[in-house]
Amino acid sequence: MSITIDQISKNFDGFQALDEVSLDIPEGKLTALLGPSGSGKTTLLRIIAGLESSDGGRILFGDEDVSQLHVRDRNIGFVFQHYALFKHLTVAENIAFGLESLPRKQRPSKTEIQRRVDELLDMIQLPDVAKRYPTQLSGGQKQRVALARALATRPRILLLDEPFGALDAKVRKDLRRWLRALHDEFHFTSVFVTHDQEEALELSDQVVVMSQGQVEQVNEPASLYARPESRFVFDFLGQVNTLSGAVRGQKLSQADAWVSLPGIQAEGEAQLYLRPHEVQLDRSPASHAKLPLRIESISLIGSEVRIELTPEGWQSNEIWEVGMSHSEFARQNPARGERWYAIPDVGHLFLAGANHPRSVNWQYPSGISASNQ
């Protein structure tokens, strides 16, 4: 079941939570609504569910306008951040609650309800906890039960509001992997709200970045990360290294730092954005860039070595971050306090007053960067 959001607006006592938002959510896909607090993502989710009314616009499920339908008539499964399980009911009774609350004509038989509960317990990999109460479960188990309860009535659409926000990092990662596998098996249309960039990029088929009640950009995770269309999306989607300065003669300069800008015909103030994976480190400057930095810290934890650096002889508002493979780190052996040079491969240039970047690529067709020429 696809979802069409058509010019939805919502105002709370003078605060414009949503400003004529339009969006298409594909059938069978997992879509993330990503943004900071106050961006409107949870308000939009609640309007889709029917838990909140809009001031204008329409919500369509497929070709059906559901804008005026009560929440109970939308056949929505909703999973809350804090589980919202009934403490006085067992796990099995919590899962069965939605089915037993259906009108008599729609309510399955007791045998069918029990069969459905057993099926869901197997699906969430918790068949042995049916008779336990929520207080006897871990956080991850509670969230699985909440998901099973939401799926019990076979909803057309599953909505999740910060579903892993109350869990610790390891459990959150495990549950993300489990939910992705579950979604790939059943292909229900799902929308989840998160402010966690890693969660959105790892879990979803489509990411909707929101800011101040509007949609900033919609794309698949890999494309969104590789090609942000605005300063906000760049700044919000993870670490970014920046060089501010003046563009003259296809070169961006600030004090002792400079970068050549092949193919850029412009003059004036500008800012260059570089992702950590788009930068290498060398003990000498490259033919296309001189960006001296001093190593402040080195973190060996994780799949790559994370190196934090501060500019030397020029200024940046942020500490720079560059990733290096463990094998490269062992070969180069960089140390805290040493001067190194950033060697950019791909950059994104924002000219003064512009909200959309222009790409800069310093790589040769062979894939060998200019630093090695």
Confidence of residue 166 (pLDDT cuts 50, 70, 90): low
Over residues 280-298, the mean pLDDT reads: 95
Give the tokens for residue 56: 């204008």
Q: What is the pLDDT of residues 175-208, one digit of tens each?
A: 888 888 888 887 889 999 998 888 899 899 999 9
Q: Residue 298: which residues within 8 A CB-CB, separation 6 or more?
A: 305, 306, 307, 308, 334, 335, 336
**In 3-state terms, the chain is what percent helix, strand and coil (to 5)?**
25, 35, 40
Confidence of residue 171 (pLDDT cuts 50, 70, 90): confident
Collapsed DSSP state (helix, strand, coil) of residue 191: strand
Q: What is the pLDDT of residue 366?
A: 35
Q: What is the pLDDT of residues 235-263, one digit of tens each?
A: 888 789 999 999 998 899 999 899 999 88
Sketch the domain layout of the chain as residue ranges: 3-227, 239-372
Q: What is the pLDDT of residues 92-113, one digit of tens each?
A: 999 999 888 888 888 889 999 9
Q: Which CATH class is domain 3-227?
A: alpha beta
Collapsed DSSP state (helix, strand, coil) of residue 302: coil
Q: State percent of the chain over pLDDT 70.
A: 97
Nearest to 262 by CA among 164, 358, 341, 336: 358
CATH H-level superfamily of 239-372: Nucleic acid-binding proteins (2.40.50.140)
Confidence of residue 367 (pLDDT cuts 50, 70, 90): very low
